[in-house]
Chain A
């Protein structure tokens, strides 16, 4: 079959292409496929195709086109291709094989295009459906107020008459296999390769994940990750495990940089992670953050003060940074600072300032 394949890309059944690679590595894996069993893994062979640099180029696996739920399906062996990051590339059928819908009708070009779109959709409604939830409902799509007979799924989620095929293939494409592929690729790359990938938009999240797995906590790598986050702040969330598992010095280094460069929404996310961190932080860490207080929004001040209280890290430096907030333009910020300061030991002068605040605003407290 390897030499006689035709493949489906975007819209149509295209000419078959020859494939003549000898650089293939076979990986035997145990995969859970939702349509087969939720507990018993399927043993399957994932083939890694390497490029001239012996790095993974793409992966493929031969699977049965349908895990049939109603004994009315024609089963073919088809080949699924992923890129090196586990993203679906294409579905390839052996020559003279055509996918079929109900009653033996062949897929049309439109059906193939729709199937391709379905397989490319990582968030398909198919993802949360269990096999048993399909059985018994695919027979009819009639609708009536009395019986409530109804369609199975959102119509965009499947090719009419081929729901089992769509369901089976989607779960092959987007199942456990994706993480296996990423891990295989990650292992093939050196730390330096991964650092370089931090500069390529499509590879950044993958590189952070794999650098975390490789426990690369060098300052050089930390800086490269910070640079990636600066250009693409959406990476912050996927970087949190990296910082959380890093040595304290890297954690402190990264935190200071992140809090300085992030905008409020992402800063909130990171402050929340500080509130929850298992890292043992010193008063110095918070002293170094204190200059940032004047830039914080109300929400950030609120969570920052909660962190100080939770971790019992109230220093003179911090207090000195907070006292000016009593005169903040935004009254709810000054009131928040007052509520924090009134409960701690203060110098006489700071005590006077908080008393003045109370006298002035006692009707609004």
Chain B
């Protein structure tokens, strides 16, 4: 009843607004509006030439046909964690890329519009993280340098800065890829897009399309096979799946935030508030801490979760305000007396909808059994975290079932990241080829980001080789994996073995001092300590240096170092700015801050390059080709650690 009332009011409001000239729109009083109308009757066009209404000052049509066709190597749809990493990796690997995002900001669920923490393998069964590296880490570090205040609106622009500074990459915000235009051979020829803010229709042509949009509209309109809902347990031998397949998809959530105003703050709920029945609610719906909202204010669907989104959002807002009303007005939480809402999301954060079908469907046994894939390109490790069927409309059940934690990260194969039937369509994020139960773990944003880096790199390799993703996977998977690892992605149990790395031919590598590990381990292919085995060299104090000697002269124009950023500590922006053993809001103290490299040329040490404020784990030096017999990496300072720790050194001609 209340809801009908809301719509009636909304429609009336909209009609009214459209009939009233702009000059009178801001006047709420009927009387004033009448006065304006009477003026308009006297001077129907005001002081302007009526022709002006049909053309711009320059004489051009005010609503011309803004249609543009643009061509790229790779088009990425969706500007969340997966899409950003896909676009960056494709661009860095040589493709001309466009990133199409239908919101005004980047970041997807992590953006200021939604504010979900960018979680990943935050903690395994031992309580420790196995944090993601590669592009997503670079983004999180970028945030630590530019957003120490932990502001979400600033985070939006940290991402904007990160994406727009990348060469070879065009960003189109407020742009929706509405449908795919297909070629006769079934490949996607172009994405037909609408940019809201410029009233422009874009036809974006590309060789490769990567759908990281979550809902997967582009892929769906291309005819890519997909599935929604829960698989039957018998289909993939999943013990946590229901006996019968059904349509249930985990819901979306409206988060909110409040702040202490220092004085009592009354709260009157808006009319659309839906009462929260705390008495009937499972105790897993924790009400404290209350300051940052309640993730379990969630609504899913048995049917068309995308089509129902706006209706569900209306209800979700009602539920969110309902819980807050309970906190403020039930009398049971006096600690909320001085608190007032200062942010409520208007865009629910989505967990699940379409899941495309690839050449492989990742499922629960793969995760729990830690299946080792020859084509592994990413990893995950968040627990199997399946939210309850019904969400907040099913109060008696716990809000989520944390079925299992993982002992170690599981692998994600490349075959789950491209379409089975649309040959040039790749995907990353929650829409990859996986079951509902696998999604309950892998949907986490940093995991999606790793998939994004994998498909972006894959797309660029496909463009270079003029092949399709399936062929890449079948014939060139080693090259894809090597490139990913070189770019600092981590593939569990898959060390690098890059034959073009000149360090492999070095006669000797040593450190000026050693407090842990061994300098030889800097070329063992592992970029982190793993399975309780050290793969690092750590200096004993600073300054220190690592020196590499070759018996013969080598030509080098590129030197790459992977330093320590402590992958056992999470870095992401959090609303509570948590600082403890496994979360930090600071720049990792272990990370190298300043260093330089020297080469010995004709017997003399020559300075090649200096970095005074390093901001990344993967440190790249590119320089004019030199002929040398030795290089020296001089480590001067970290961001606080006493010793410097390195995991890898590589050299290329």
- With contacts A129-B581, A332-B508 taken as known, whether A139 is within 8 angstroms of B128 at the C-beta atoms is no
Q: Please tell me if the beta carbons of B400 and A144 are within 8 angstroms of each other in the complex.
A: yes
Instruction: Looking at the assembled complex, report how far the CB atom of B278 sits from the nearest CB atom of chain A, in whole angstroms.
Output: 17
Contact with A along B267-305 (1 / 0, CB 8 A): 000000000000000001010110011111010000000
A154 to B129, CA, bound (A): 10
Are A154 and B127 in contact, with the CB atoms below 8 A? Answer: yes
With an 8 A cutoff between CB atoms, is B183 at the interface?
no
What number of B residues sit within 8 Å (CB to CB) of A? 54
Decide yes or no whether B576 CB sits under 8 A from chain A. Answer: yes
Which residue of B349, B547, B582 is within 8 Å of A154 (Cβ)? B582
* Residue B603 CB within 8 A of the other chain: yes
Chain B: CB-nearest residue to A130: B579
Of the candidate stretches B324-332, B461-469, B510-518, the one touching chain A is: B510-518
A364 and B580 contact, Cβ closer than 8 Å, known pairs A136-B289, A268-B513:
no
Interface string of A146-185 (1 = CB under 8 A from B): 1111111111110000000000000000000000000000
Contact A139 to B288, CB < 8 A, known contacts A147-B295, A299-B510, A365-B602: yes
A335 to chain B, nearest CB (A): 7
Q: A355 → chain B, closest Cβ, in Å?
A: 14
Is the CB–CB distance between B382 and A332 below 8 Å?
no
Q: Are the CB atoms of A364 and B552 closer together than 8 Å?
A: yes
Closest partner residue, chain A, to B297 (CB atom): A146
Q: Report yes or no: B513 in contact with A364, Cβ–Cβ below 8 A.
A: no
Q: Does A233 contact B (CB under 8 A)?
A: no
- Does B513 lie within 8 Å of A272, measured CB to CB? yes
Contact call A335/B629, Cβ cutoff below 8 A: yes
Cβ of B481 < 8 Å from any Cβ of A?
A: no
Is the C-beta of A302 less than 8 angstroms from some C-beta in chain B? yes
Contact mask for chain B residues 420-450; partner A; CB cutoff 8 A; 1 contact, 0 none: 0000000000000000000000011000000
CB interface residues, B 383-402, toward A, < 8 Å: 383, 385, 399-400, 402
Q: Min CB distance, A108 to chain B, in Å?
A: 21
Partner of A133, one of B382, B399, B580: B580
| Chain B residues in 8 Å Cβ range of A342 | 603
Q: Among B122, B402, B507, B553, which residue has its beta carbon within 8 angstroms of that of A150?
A: B122
Asked if B491 CB lies within 8 Å of chain A CBs, one says no
A18 within 8 A of B: no
Interface residues of B in 571-589 (CB under 8 A from A): 574, 576, 578-583
B33 close to A (CB within 8 Å):
no
Could you say which residues of chain A place their CB within 8 Å of the CB of B402? 143
Chain B CB within 10 Å, residue with most, of A142, A150, A152, A338? A150
Cα A338 to Cα B629 with chains together (Å): 13
Complex Cα gap A343–B600 (Å): 15
Pick the residue among A136, A157, A269 that contacts B581 (CB under 8 A). Answer: A157
Whether A365 contacts B629 by the Cβ 8 Å rule is yes
Contact A332 B127 (CB under 8 A): no
B295→A146 contact, CB < 8 A: yes
Which of these, A148, A331, A343, contacts B551 with CB under 8 Å? A331
Which residue of chain B is the closest to A128 with respect to CB atoms? Answer: B581
Bound together, the chains give a CA A365 to CA B553 distance in angstroms of 7
The answer on a CB contact under 8 Å between B578 and A146 is: no
Nearest-neighbour CB distance to chain A for B65, whole angstroms, equals 43
Given A299-B510, A332-B507, A365-B602, decide whether A140 and B286 contact each other with a Cβ distance below 8 A: yes
B123 part of interface (Cβ distance < 8 Å) = yes
Contact B385 A147 (CB under 8 A): no
Considering the chains assembled together, what is the distance between the CA atoms of A156 and B127 in angstroms? Answer: 9
When distances are taken between beta carbons in the complex, the residues of chain B under 8 Å from A345 are: none
- A133, A142, A335: the one contacting B579 at CB < 8 Å is A133
Chain A 293-304 interface 0/1 with B at a Cβ cutoff of 8 Å (1 = within): 000001100110
Q: Is the CB of A145 within 8 A of B127?
A: no
Complex-state Cα separation, A145 to B250, whole angstroms: 12
What is the CB-to-nearest-CB distance from B525 to chain A, in angstroms, rounded to a whole number? Answer: 23
Q: Is A188 an interface position by the 8 A CB rule?
A: no
- Chain B residues contacting A332 (CB-CB under 8 Å) are 507-508, 549, 551
Report B594-642 residues with CB < 8 Å from chain A CB: 600, 602-603, 629
User: Measured between C-beta atoms, what is the minimum distance from B240 to chain A in Å?
Assistant: 16
B116 at the interface (CB under 8 A from A): yes
Interface centre among A136, A146, A157, A332 (most CB of B within 10 A): A146
Task: Assess whether B547 is in contact with A302, with CB atoms less than 8 Å apart.
Answer: yes
**How many A residues face the partner with a CB closer than 8 A?**
43
Taking CB atoms, residues of chain A closer than 8 Å to B122 are 143, 148, 150
Q: A298 — which chain B residues lie within 8 A by C-beta? A: 508, 510, 549
Asked if A363 is at the interface (CB within 8 A of a chain B CB), the reply is yes
Distance of A35 Cα from B512 Cα, bound (Å):
38
B444: A residues at CB distance < 8 A = 145
Once A272-B513, A299-B510 are accepted as A-B contacts, the answer to whether A140 and B295 lie under 8 Å apart by CB is: no
Determine whether the beta carbon of B349 is less than 8 Å from that of A146.
Answer: yes
A134 interface contact, C-beta 8 A = yes
Chain B nearest CB, measured from A169 CB (Å): 18
Residues of A within 8 A of B351 (CB): 145
Chain A residue nearest in CB terms to B549:
A332
A85-B390 Cα distance, complex, nearest whole Å = 61
Q: How far is the CA of A152 from the CA of B383 in the complex (A)?
A: 17
Asked if B581 and A153 make an inter-chain contact with CB atoms under 8 angstroms apart, the answer reads yes
Residue A291, interface by CB 8 Å: no
A190 CB–B CB distance under 8 Å: no
A232 at the interface (CB under 8 A from B): no
Interface flag for A339 (CB, 8 Å): yes
Closest residue of chain B to A265 (Cβ to Cβ) is B514
Q: Please state if A146 and B289 are interface contacts (CB–CB under 8 Å).
A: no
Query: With a CB–CB cut-off of 8 A, which chain B residues contact A134?
Result: 580
Instruction: Determine how close the nearest CB of chain A comes to the CB of B352; give it in whole angstroms.
Output: 12
- Determine if B117 and A155 form an interchain contact, defined as CB atoms under 8 angstroms apart: no
Are B549 and A125 touching (Cβ within 8 A)?
no
How long is the Cα–Cα vector from A365 to B550 in the complex, in angstroms?
10
**A63 CB → nearest B CB, Å:** 24
Give A353 Cβ to nearest chain B Cβ, in Å: 16
Closest beta carbon of chain A to B38's beta carbon, Å: 54
Within 8 A of B (CB), among A291-320: 298-299, 302-303
Contact with A along B542-554 (1 / 0, CB 8 A): 0000010101110
Residues in chain B near residue A227, CB distance under 8 A: none
Docked Cα-Cα span, A365 to B601, in Å, equals 8
The smallest C-beta distance from B114 to any residue of chain A, in angstroms, reads: 10
A268–B580 CA distance with the chains assembled, in angstroms: 37
List 16 additional A-B contacts (Cβ < 8 Å) besides A140-B288, A144-B399, A365-B603.
A137-B578, A142-B284, A143-B123, A143-B383, A143-B385, A146-B296, A146-B298, A147-B292, A147-B294, A148-B117, A157-B581, A298-B508, A299-B508, A299-B510, A332-B508, A365-B629
- The contact sample of 30 A-B pairs, CB cut-off 8 A, is A125-B581, A133-B579, A136-B576, A137-B580, A139-B288, A140-B288, A142-B284, A143-B402, A144-B385, A144-B399, A144-B400, A145-B116, A145-B117, A146-B253, A146-B255, A146-B295, A146-B298, A147-B117, A147-B292, A148-B574, A149-B286, A150-B583, A154-B126, A154-B128, A268-B514, A272-B513, A298-B510, A332-B551, A335-B629, A365-B553
- The 5 A-B residue pairs whose C-beta atoms are closest, nearest first, are A146-B295, A148-B117, A147-B295, A339-B603, A154-B127
> Chain A residues in contact with chain B, CB under 8 A?
125, 128-129, 133-134, 136-137, 139-140, 142-157, 265, 268-269, 272, 298-299, 302-303, 331-332, 335, 338-339, 342-343, 363-365
